[in-house]
Amino acid sequence: MKQEPSHLSGPGSTQTVHAGERRFRAHHSLTVPIVQTSVYTFDKTADLLNYFEERMFWDEVEREEYGRYGNPTIRAVEAKLAVLDGAEDAVLVSSGMAAVTNTLLLLLKQGDHLILTDDCYHQSREFCTKFLSGWGVESTVVPCGDYDALEAAIQPNTRLIYTESPTNPFMRCVDYAQVVEIARRHKLLTVVDATFATPINCRPLAFGVDLVIHSLTKYLGGHNDLMAGAVVGSTRLTTRLRQAQGMFGSIADPHGAYLMLRGMKTLALRMERHNANGLAIARFLEDQPQVRRVWYPGLESHPDHALAKATMRGFGGVVSFEIDGDGERAYRFLDALQIPTIGPSLGGVESMISPLAIMGYAELPEEERLALGIRDELVRFCIGVEETDDLINDLRQALAQI
């Protein structure tokens, strides 16, 4: 049987169900229990002294002290995530943005400089270019896919490169080999938000990326019922975040962690459907006269199609496209749809769709928004796990009404 290249190998359903979980659990429970407590007690002072001695000299301790510093249900999520991403460690935080902000705040200090790519989540870009600048951290935005510009932007005080892959909303894909080679030559850290890929479709750490960020609210949770984020990588880097998490207070809750574990068990199965739906719908939309352009890395027309094929096992369930016409025509199309609901997120079992000029970029001045390519007629379709034919038929009838 032909074996996948190591950089394309990824977890399947056996790992998503069982990875990181202890075989024998309290009370003989099949599922990891929700440990709903903020405080952990000690029987004797000797137990307390032993705990702090172990925490000082050992990487792992078998128990917790206080809810802001750890929880058994949360630890189970972290262990599973680390296995799925092929990492030494993972740190669970309260949201995807908490994963971004906490990581950059820890890795950068006053006088430092970072480089980020232009087609990325707008709040990540805002945090880098506006918030961090107030703390004396400079940033340079370079075009996604322009590796000459990336290297040219490096300064003596540059400390890291931050990017996404695939990007939001135009699904641009990063050449990890080039980014890592440039970063290592200049002794820089690399941080990649891989929310749109998930460990099923791509594992950036296999290419040498230092840290991977996930918004677990999306595909990994998968049911639109929780908020969480994660930072995944080597213990050398994640330990700093884990130690600072008690000060930041950006902790996830045990109930959310339990929902994360439940969601991740079906991740491989769900991504198979997301990938299939995404490709079929992108191909359908590209053939429709009412659609001006489609962005999906599984399409030959996408600028990073060859790169996506070489680095990803599947292309995900997000398709961005422009309605041929103006914003009003796009709004009529959206209102005519019967299956997807209008909403701001992605990665759940339910399909959602949004006019990005309003949902996500409304606070930007029009000139700035248009410079990012966010036109009134741009639509992002976050495809769920419904039947492919049902979704296509719904798109067809909605397009026919405009």
Q: Which residues are catalytic?
A: 68, 121, 193, 218
Buried b vs exposed e over 15-32: b needs ≥16 C-beta within 10 Å?
bbbebbbeeeeeeeeeeb
Write 340-346 long-range contacts (CB < 8 A, 24+). 340/381, 340/384, 340/391, 340/394, 343/382, 345/217, 345/218, 345/224, 345/382, 346/196, 346/218, 346/219, 346/317, 346/318, 346/380, 346/382
Distance (Å) of CA 122 to CA 190, 343, 383? 19, 17, 21
Half-sphere exposure (Cβ direction) of 245: Cα atoms closer than 13 Å: 26
Distance CA 342, CA 60 (A): 44
Query: Reduced to 3 states, what is the DSSP secondary structure of residue 390?
Result: helix
Look at residues 350, 338, 330 and name the one whose alpha carbon lies nearest to residue 277. 350
Pairing of strands 318-323, 229-233: unpaired
